Structure formats: C-alpha cells, structure tokens
Amino acid sequence: MTESESAALTLAQAAAATQWPSLPADVQTMALDLFADSLAVVAGGAVHPVMQSLASTVEAADGPSTLIGEKRGVAMRDAILLNAATTTVLQRQDGYAHAKGHPASQLVPVTLGLAERHGKTAEQMLTALVAGYEVAARVGMALGGVPSHLHDNGNWAAIGHAAAAAHLLSDGDAHVIAAAIDGAASLAQSFDRFTTAGGATMHHLYPAMAATQAIAVAEGAVAGLTPLPGSLERFYGPNLGSDFDAPLLMDGIESGSWSRFEILNGYFKLHPSCAHLHGVNDAVDALITEHGVTEENIASVDVATFGEAMEIDTDTPANDLAARFSAKATVAAAIRHGVLDDGGLLDLTALQPLMDKITARHDPALDKHTPAGRPGVVTITLTSGQSTSKEVIYPRGTSQTLATPDERKDKALTLLARHYGENGATAVYNAVMTLGHGGTIATLTNTLRT
C-alpha cells in the first residue's frame, strides 16, 4: 500500500485542514469545556499523595512546561508524563460516546506541553487538539471496541495524540501527520484491563506512556522517519480491535475535511468512579435526594447492574483507586456522606459497616441497554421495612443525558479549587475560556503556576 492509498493520509488531510477560527461555535465550545475539564481533573488529582510522590522524583530545574499543581516549570517530557498520569487518579476524566476511552484528557497534556515548549499560539494548540480528537475518535469507532483483556486507557486515543503532536510540530503538514498516525499504529501499546479494580496504581502510567510515546513518534515523523503506509488498517486495527471495520476510519470525512465532528459526542464524568457505575451512582443520588436516605436508616441495599460493570467490579477494594471501581464502595460513600465525592472513598474502614449491608450483582435484563447505556437499579430497604428503588439507564453527563453548561463549569471549578482555591480556580477557568478568542497560553500557564 502506498501513502496515497492509506487511511492515515485521509485522516491527516482532514486534520491538516482543521482551523480553529473556522470551526463551528458548538465545536469550539465543546473543545474549551473539555480543555477546562481536563485541566481540572489533573489539578484535582495532583493533590493525591500518589501523584505528589511521583512528582517529587522530577528534577526541580525550571523548565519550559507547566506541571499542573506546582509553581515550577519542568522539562516538557516530564510535564506531559506527569500531567497525563494524573488524569486517571480521580477517575473523572472525559469519555467518548462511540468508543470506550478518554481522548480529551490525554490530548490536553500533549498539546499544552508542546505548545509551551515550542512557542505555539492558543489557536494552533486548540486546532491540534480538535484535529487529534477527530482522528482518535474515528480510530476508536473503527476498532469496534478493544479486546476484553485490554484497557481502553492509553489505547486508541494514542493515535490522536500522535496526530495532534505532529500537527503542532509540522504546522499542519498532512504528510508528517500521516506518518505519525501510521507510526503510532505500528508502535501499538496494550495495557492490562484489570489493574484498576485491583487498585494497582501503576495504572496511572497508562496514559502517561501513551502520551510520551506519541511525542516521540511525532518528532520522528518531523525528522523524516517513515512508517509502513497502511499500518493503521493492516496491523493496528486487526490486532487491537474487537470488531475492526476499516471504512469507519474515514467516516465523516468529505472533500478532505471533517463533515461531522465527533468531539460533540464527548462526555463529562460527573462522578469520581468508573463510568460503568454511573447509572448506579445516579440512582443512589436520586434516592438520597427524594427520600432522605441516610446511613442510620439503612437495613439493606441491593445494586443491580449490567454484566461488563460487574466484570471489573471489586467487592473488597484495597485502596481508593479500587474503590472507584466498586459498586459497594461508591454506593456506601454516597449514602454515608450524602454525596459521592473523592474524599468519601479514602477511608474504606469507615465505609465497611455500610458496605456489609450492600449486595452488588449482575442483572442480565439490564444488558440490553448496553453499550449506549450504563444501567443501574438500586433498591434500598429501610429499617422501617419500607423499600424504595430507582433505575437509571443513561447517566448524567453522557451524550444521552448531556451535562448542562452549569454542571460542566461547576465540576471544573470544584476540582481546580482543590489546589488553586476559589479565586485561583476562577482565574484558571476564565483563562481557558478566552483561549482561541484572544487569550494566550502564557496567561493560562501563569495562572496554573500561581
């Protein structure tokens, strides 16, 4: 196969044609909201002891790139690695409706780190982010899912990382972007799916490894290293996909540009837990609000959900990462504290008496709602003998039940405030919202280093 026949070149030409000023208003709004969301997820996770320990290993020399959550600048690769690793700590990173993965939260560390290091403008950075998202989304769709033993984090989104990085480094040269796409495909990474439920925090390096490899691939493409054309459809898709459909790689591309923007199918995680549990988490929220449920008046709780959620569920979580994949832990934390928040998952010993009253199980009848839905049914029996139940098929934040503008903003400000305080959070958020509308990267990074 020649380059001109490859899916990579078709994707790259559409990526190269992407220009921030000409993007539809709703695409620009979504891109900025996802950018703010991703920075907030990193800032919120940066205060976690695991990430503080990892950040302490980085040399303190003042470098060109921003390490979110700290005042110092560091070397570009250190910033990208650490910022990308922190996206998974709270399990609140973005999602994409048509394939399991987290493209935006992994693209932001790459594009911000490169833009700072190479003096790119905000428009160039945002153009590359949208272009990379569109490439990644089509790879995700075409894969037809990843094999059941592989984790989606750091998987297909890495193709978009490489495309975005090559876009920035080559000023939008389609041939360089195509080389980066096929190059990233030929260097496919695969990660163990079950680390998260086991509480194995090495999991946080999944997106970090994908992001840093993407930088190397893009730099190689700029330097003239060449891939084998067609690696994306010949090697990557058949080996990393469950039901690979090559024509979907070019779906929504007409006359060399995007005819449909998949970034509009991105979603925002409104719970600090695995997205598979969000139907359950929404149901518990509703029961707490509607019936005044508290820890004191609980006799028992029955949680029913779909099969895939239970495959990675952990009945006895060992730490807060595993707790974010536990139906029992997330339900218990919400009931005990009145809302499911990150802090409520830290003290598992305190949650255990309530977790002992909770049963989590697979209900095959709920499987029919997947993969579009993340269904959950929660039935609470009170000490009075009364029972109440709630079913949620499409959780809040997903493309079927969109997060409102206020929910998006509130999430970003809340997480940013964990490090920056309320005033600092507002400053960071406002700096993001002005990007692409006259705002500068320097203004944003100055607020991030405050």
Q: How confident is the model at residue 3, as a pLDDT? A: 86
Q: How confident is the model at residue 25, as a pLDDT? A: 98
pLDDT under 50: residue ranges of the chain? none
Q: How confident is the model at residue 5, as a pLDDT? A: 87
Q: How confident is the model at residue 72, as a pLDDT? A: 83
Q: How confident is the model at residue 154, as a pLDDT? A: 86
Q: How confident is the model at residue 4, as a pLDDT? A: 85
* Domain extent listing, the chain: 3-270+404-448, 275-392
Q: How confident is the model at residue 137, as a pLDDT? A: 98
14-59 pLDDT, tens digit per residue, is 999 999 999 999 999 999 999 999 999 999 999 999 999 999 988 7
Report the predicted TM-score, pTM, of the whole model to 2 decimal places: 0.97
CB 193 within 8 A of CB 240: no
CATH, range 275-392: 3.30.1330.120
Q: How confident is the model at residue 62, as a pLDDT? A: 72
59-80 pLDDT, tens digit per residue, is 766 789 999 988 888 999 999 9
User: Tell me, which fold does domain 3-270+404-448 have in CATH?
Assistant: 2-methylcitrate dehydratase PrpD (1.10.4100)
